[in-house]
Amino acid sequence: MGKHTLRAVLDHPQLALVGLKVYDETKVGRDAGELADRPATGIRAVRELAELPLAAADCVLYVPMQPDYDEIAALLRAGVSVITTAGNMYPQAYGQEVVDKLQDACLAGGSVFHGSGINPAFMSDVLPLTLSGLSYRARQIIVQEVSDIAHYAVAAPGIMMDNIGFGKTPDEALRPDNPFIAWMSAYFRESMQMIVDHLGVTLDAVVPGHEVAVARNRVELSPDCVIEAGTVACRRFEWTGIVNGKPAIILRTYWKTTLDIEPAWPIGSEKEVEWTVTIEGTPSFQCKVSTCASYDPANPRYNQGGEEAAVIGTGIHAVNAIPWVCAAPPGIRTFLDLPIIGSVGALA
């Protein structure tokens, strides 16, 4: 995520990088261009916040795995707006203490805080909310993602194999004390809270329903990344939001490494990544969105690279938000508060 976001900033004709903070000690002191596979910039990566030239910055793109609210508040108080992909697209879901910390820091520094993302975020709240506007009395909102994460499992085995549980037994993968699943649940709950708050209803409860499917045969993703028969090869994460005693919002995500699974879930698709947003109402609507390197049949990467494209899209949406965030009045600004974020410099 960080590499793609940094690359987008360096390639952007209207943006200028002034500093770079990293969380990996092996990257400290290296040129930002080198880290992004771009020409040298003269800007060296630092480890500490105090080493950044904050006085020269208008905005920070904050893209670690998880947020540090003290670090974010320090940036905001220094007068630098913050856009993050580490959840917090709707901080109100975390309670008044978090909201007050961020809002007070924004007001003290005259800065803006904005959380961005693709799913959870755009696909799980902005798009369904927008689509619901075409339906009278929408009764149910369902958002489903189906992603082939085979390449990601090879690139990040610590996350996908160790934390998420691919290649492990079902009992190991479904252990209730998994902190990574708790972290994911918090992010998806943000989307639910944004939806119900905007629609003016109350979220009674969020009911999790996570399940796994096992490989019917051995799956070799790489020589070092193997899923044995009988171990987890697909995961289904599901959260159901209860409103007025009924299942009103369902956010469901399938992460697969193969289709040869038991049980045989209906997740076959030519797309590496596909989202389906369904609004049950009068009338009902359904929207399917996929992503890849290109949909031009003449392109060598036609209909390929969906997994990487989803990661890139997450970072690009944050980059495209910079002009709108910098122009907004101080405070927490969610997707509901900003104009539609379009592709900056598009169609040129």
**E strands, the chain, where?**
59-62, 81-84, 112-115, 136-148, 205-208, 211-215, 219-222, 225-227, 232-243, 246-256, 261-262, 273-282, 285-290, 331-332
Buried b (16+ CB within 10 A) or exposed e, 130-141: ebbeebeebebb
- Return the amino acid letter for 282: T
Q: What is the pLDDT of residue 345?
A: 74
Give the strand pairing for 59-62 and 81-84: parallel
Q: What is the pLDDT of residue 268?
A: 77
CA 72 to chain centre: 18
Q: What is the pLDDT of residue 43?
A: 98
Question: What residue segments make up the domains of the chain, in order of their start?
Answer: 2-116+321-332, 122-304
Short-list 160, 300, 294, 291, CA closest to 234: 160
Burial of 51 from C-beta contacts in 10 A (0-12 / 13-18 / 19+): middle
pTM of the entire structure? Answer: 0.94
SS3 63: coil
Q: What is the pLDDT of residue 281?
A: 97
Short-list 80, 90, 87, CA closest to 110: 80
Measure the CA–CA gap between 184 and 195, rounded to whole angstroms. 17
Measure the CA–CA gap between 115 and 6, rounded to whole angstroms. 17
Burial of 98 from C-beta contacts in 10 A (0-12 / 13-18 / 19+): middle
Short-list 252, 241, 198, CA closest to 89: 198
SS3 334: coil
Q: What is the pLDDT of residue 48?
A: 95
Measure the CA–CA gap between 165 and 288, rounded to whole angstroms. 28
Please give the CATH topology (third level) of the domain spanning 2-116+321-332: Rossmann fold (3.40.50)
Q: What is the pLDDT of residue 347?
A: 77
The whole-number mean pLDDT for each consecutive block of 10 residues of the chain, a chain of 348 residues, reads 91 94 96 96 96 97 94 98 97 98 99 97 97 96 96 89 94 92 94 98 96 97 95 97 98 96 87 94 97 95 90 93 97 97 82
Measure the CA–CA gap between 75 and 109, rounded to whole angstroms. 9
